[in-house]
Amino acid sequence: MPNTNAEFPERINRPTSPAPWERKETDSGGPKRPDAEAPDTKELLKKMRRVDPNQAKRYRQRTGE
Amino acid sequence: MQRTIGIETEYGITVDGAESVDVVSESIALVRSYTQAEPATQDMEMKWNYDLEDPHLDARGFRVDELLQDFDEPKYFVQDQNRKLSFQEIKSDLVLSNGARYYNDHAHPEYSTPECKSLRDIIAQDKAGERIIEECVRRRNLRQAAGTVKVYKNNTDFVGHSYGTHDNYLMDRSIPFEKVIRGLTPFLVTRQIVAGAGKVGIEGEENAPTGVFQITQRADFFSVLVSIDTMNRRPIVNTRDEPHADSEKYRRFHVIIGDANMSEMAGALKLGTTALMLDLLENNSCPMDLDLVDPIAALKFISRDPALKHVVLLANGRTISPIDIQREYLAAAQKKLRGRDDDTDWILSTWQQVLDDLERDPMLCRDRLDWVAKKWLLETFAAAENVAWDDPWLQSLDLEYHNVRREEGLYAELVREGTMRRFVTDDDIRHAIHHPPPDTRAYFRGRCVEKFAKQMTSVQWDELAFSDNGQEHVVRLLNVFDDADVRRYNEAVDNARDVETLLRSLDAVRR
């Protein structure tokens, strides 16, 4: 099956140097505080209303660890 | 951070639009879909070495004959017996080029991260697992017409079936296990106020009230203080003795009491604070005067008190809030470990801020903690739609918080709207999908898979086997943990032209 998902990276042979996991100067350097004051909930509520009210009733699993 | 850690996560799976769901075959199909791409990936298929595993060994110094997981649930016994698949085919084990293991564990796709030594790597790798499974869902749904698979990174089906998220820490074996139990039980019981994922409902109790919001998904499933079991009579402290390392020197502290975190900040705090507790234990600095009178009761009691207003009773007669128990551990860590490295300082300051905010108003933490974010979502919805807390819709929304498809999942929507703080970037996560952490033995494993998969005959966390010139050779990784050893192995695989060069440079043993 072709990988047509632009979001999911293809594996490529990577150079060993510079190590791509090293922090770049342009990195934001970790967590940021979002604007958490009085959020607009319109889109969120729209999405929540689309959730099937009975999906948890049908969701049955086997015990794991 | 100065400790090797990893997380194993079992995901829940269902099929919308199907009359009945065989979760085992769906889980197998989902895992296998990862290597059914063009161009084909080099990930290792079905070469996991089960001979090196023994989950029956107990850290208290004995071996148990039987575990529930040996048999699974009786009602599925016949169905499983009639599968025309070998054990290896049912497991469908993959070892990925990022050093992770991805396979079908009983009836759940499980992603076990590679070993990591920094918080940034472990969170990026845990999130990479979500993205890999999200991609598998997409591929499976494209290929098969029968229903739509949905996968959830949670720990319960709301009617008594739980599946695990286990965090693992390499630690000094010389620390007596009794000390581990005594020192860490109060920490693990109260860790949920930071790391719980939230749940609507109570499971496993007759006549339990409905519509209760709990801090943690898993508290209902724990009934003993210490045990080797993981599927039945689950313990707060698990004694499975599988170090995946030199058993003379190391122990793997296998924590089965955690929830699956969607929030990167909650996940980082869960892993970071637990790693610091092991540092304190190894330095003889862990608080030892916080014994709870009844740890199991306290676990459930705290989980059902999201206002965090109540106290628990200690064996010395003192009453104390779960926030203050966490504060005692925090104070010990600040005194002993502050200034050691960037990860440690981040954990200490973020932990303190979260505890301060929980004390002022738990809702202040809705941008960091899963249980608070979920509670806020449900409260917002219930108020807007005039829905009562025992309406099944809220449990369905609870489930949807954990949907790995970012187009659908409610946690993903909070991220998209910028109301959850991030700990890693999307670039970090995309990178982790194919690349192992650079500073652990996982790099050696992942790069071997990437370069030499065709000549590898078996894989385990602490051993790789290769075929070369008609002989099988084994590279043991039982003691590859300090920086110099890790560097030697990782440079060897980077520099090796072929398997023969690799084996020669590492003095591999012929089997």
Q: Which of chain B's residues have a Cβ under 8 Å away from the Cβ of A44?
A: 377, 380, 410, 413-414, 417
Q: At B248, is the secondary structure helix, strand, or coil?
A: coil
Q: Give the model's pLDDT for residue A19.
A: 38
* Per-window interface: B 358-397 vs A, CB < 8 A: 366-367, 377, 380-381, 384-385, 391-393, 395-397
Chain B environment of A62 (Cβ under 8 Å): 23-24, 72-73, 76, 106-108, 161, 163
C-alpha distance from B319 to closest chain A C-alpha (Å): 33
Q: What are phi and psi of B222, to 5 degrees?
A: -110, 130
Q: Nearest C-alpha of chain A: how many angstroms from B103?
A: 13
Contacts of B419 (CB under 8 A, 6+ apart): A34, A35, A36, A39, B366, B367, B373
Mean pLDDT across B271-276: 98
* pLDDT attached to residue A21: 35
Taking each helix axis from N to C end, the angle separating B322-337 and B264-282, rounded to the nearest 10 degrees, works out to: 60
Q: B425, B419 in Cβ contact below 8 A?
A: no
- State residue A9's pLDDT score: 83
Q: Looking at residue B499, what DSSP letter applies?
A: H
Q: Which of residues 16-55 of A touch B (CB under 8 A)?
A: 16, 19-21, 27-28, 30-36, 39, 41, 43-45, 47-49, 51-55
Query: Which residue in the set A12, A55, A61 is minimally distant from B23, CB to CB?
Result: A61
With pLDDT > 90 as the criterion, what percentage of chain A qualifies?
Answer: 38
Tokens describing residue A62: 């086997």
Indicate the pTM of the whole model. 0.93
Residue A54, min C-alpha distance to chain B (Å) = 6
- Between A20 and B318, the more confident residue is B318
Active-site residue flag, B356: no
Q: How far is B340 from chain A (nearest CA, A)?
A: 19
Mean pLDDT score, A11-25:
44
Determine the average pLDDT of the residues in B428-441. 98
How many CB atoms within 10 Å of residue B221? 23
Query: What is the per-residue pLDDT across B318-356, written as a single tens digit (0 to 9) for each?
Result: 999 999 999 999 999 999 999 999 999 999 999 999 999
Q: Are strands B101-105 and B94-95 parallel, antiparallel or unpaired?
A: antiparallel
Q: Do B422 and A60 touch (CB under 8 A)?
A: no
pLDDT tens for each residue of B87-145: 899 999 999 999 999 999 989 999 999 999 999 999 999 999 999 999 999 999 998 77
The tally of CA atoms less than 13 A away on the side-chain side of residue B510 is 6
The average confidence (pLDDT) of chain B is 94
- Taking phi over 0 as left and psi of -120 to 50 as alpha, with beta for the rest, B172 belongs to beta
Q: Which residue has the higher pLDDT, B41 or A59?
A: A59
Residue A18 has pLDDT above 70, yes or no: no
Q: Which residues of A touch B143 (CB under 8 A)?
A: 1
**The sheet that has B509-510: what strands, in order across it?**
B456-460, B463-468, B471-476, B509-510
Of B166, B396, B430, the CB nearest to A9: B430
Helix (H, G, I), strand (E, B) or coil at A52: coil
